[in-house]
Structure 1
Amino acid sequence: MANVNNNRLDLIIDEPTLTKINDAVTSLLSFLPQASLTDEERGSMVSMDVDNKVFADNVLIEAQGPAKNILPPFIDLQIFENDLTLAEQADAIASKFAEVSRRISDIHRIASSETMATSSLIYNLIHAANKAGVSGAKEPYDKLKKRYDKLGRKTDNGV
């Protein structure tokens, strides 16, 4: 009999591939500067949205041109330009990682949903067998129904 569930992903990631993925992520992380923020810092710092990016680009243009002679010597335009470039680079990298994260999240959701659909199906079959008095169904039913008991659901009237 064919699988009764819609199974979009019928595979596993083999150990060598999983090792390669983990090694690649570790390698990628080693190329990035060490930086971390507290939740408070994350909430208090200004982000780089489109309007802020345009403004920062315009400030750099003006600071390197017409306003160059009026800036105090303690303003290091190279540091400012480096920060602007790093923000652009981080944005491009973040976009790629967002794509990876979305794909991994989708894989996780699909696999989890398929797992739970099959789990519920098998549980309901065991439940039906127990109700019908099938030998060997009571013990697995009693073990498995604890999940529904935790959720406050009645399992004797159907699931």
Structure 2
Amino acid sequence: MSNLSENRINVVLAAADVTTINESINAILSKIPENTTLTDTQRNSYTAIDVSNKVFSEDVLTEARATGTGVLPPYIDLDALQNDLTIFNQLDAIESGLTNLLQRVKDAKRIAGHEAFGMANKAYKSYRDASDSGIANAKSGYDKLKVRFESQGKSGGRGLSPDLQ
């Protein structure tokens, strides 16, 4: 349960900031090549490149550029290999930044949800206690709110979050 005196996130993003964030996401998406969406089957069948595979690919490119003339068939496109390695490195750096960003968004969302649900449970307990005490208007509010917990069967029929019993 959250500590009611601690509210780590007590802000709302300005509508303009949300718009800017969404525009930035769209701007990033627009820079990623369009033909790069995979089906689940493709995701499972394409070879993932790990560190050793990346080093091998770089070594092949280096060796081919140095000694490949006359050795490699004409359908081996070294410029395409170089482009693939370059964009792989670029996307790897972008992915790292986005992974950090996504974790921060998820953490902030988790904190906000935790605080909201904790405060809501405390308010709900106050409705329940006020209803039990006969405070005017409390019973109707409690009756509306207790539906959330009635199906859980853990509250002894009082409609209370298990954390608040």
TM-score, normalisation: structure 1: 0.90
Partner of residue 105, structure 1: 106
User: Structure 1 residue 157: deviation in Å?
Assistant: 8.1
Residue aligning to 2:58: 57
Number of aligned residue pairs: 157
- Paired residue for 1:78? 79
Counterparts in 2 of 1:1-159, with a 5 A limit?
Answer: 4-34=4-34, 35-154=36-155, 155-156=157-158, 159=165
Shift of residue 67 of structure 1?
Answer: 4.0
Deviates more, 1:132-141 or 1:82-91: 132-141
> Partners in 1 of 2:45 and 2:12 — Cα distance?
42
- 1:114-139 Cα deviation digits (max 9, x unpaired): 10010111011111111222221111
Q: Distance in 1 between matches of 2:11 and 2:108?
A: 11
Task: Provide the C-alpha distance between the structure 2 equivalents of 1:50 and 1:152, rounded to a whole number of angstroms.
Answer: 52
Q: Which runs of 4+ in 1 moved over 3 A?
A: none
Which deviations, in whole Å up to 9, do the C-alpha atoms of 1:78-131 show, x marking residues without a partner?
Answer: 111111111111111111111111111111111111100101110111111112
What is the CA–CA distance in structure 1 between the aligned matches of 2:159 and 2:143, rounded to whole Å? Answer: 15
Is the 2:131–2:139 contact (alpha carbons within 8 Å) kept by the matching residues of 1? yes
Q: 3-state SS of the aligned residue for 1:70? A: coil
Distance (Å, rounded) in 2 between the aligned partners of 1:37 and 1:97: 19
1:62·1:68 contact (CA, 8 Å) conserved in 2?
A: no
Give the deviation of 1:22 after TM superposition: 1.2
Partner of 2:67: helix, strand, or coil?
A: coil
Q: Quote the Cα distance in structure 2 between the aligned partners of 1:93 and 1:157.
A: 47
Percent identical across equivalent pairs? Answer: 36
Q: Alignment partner of 1:64: what SS?
A: helix
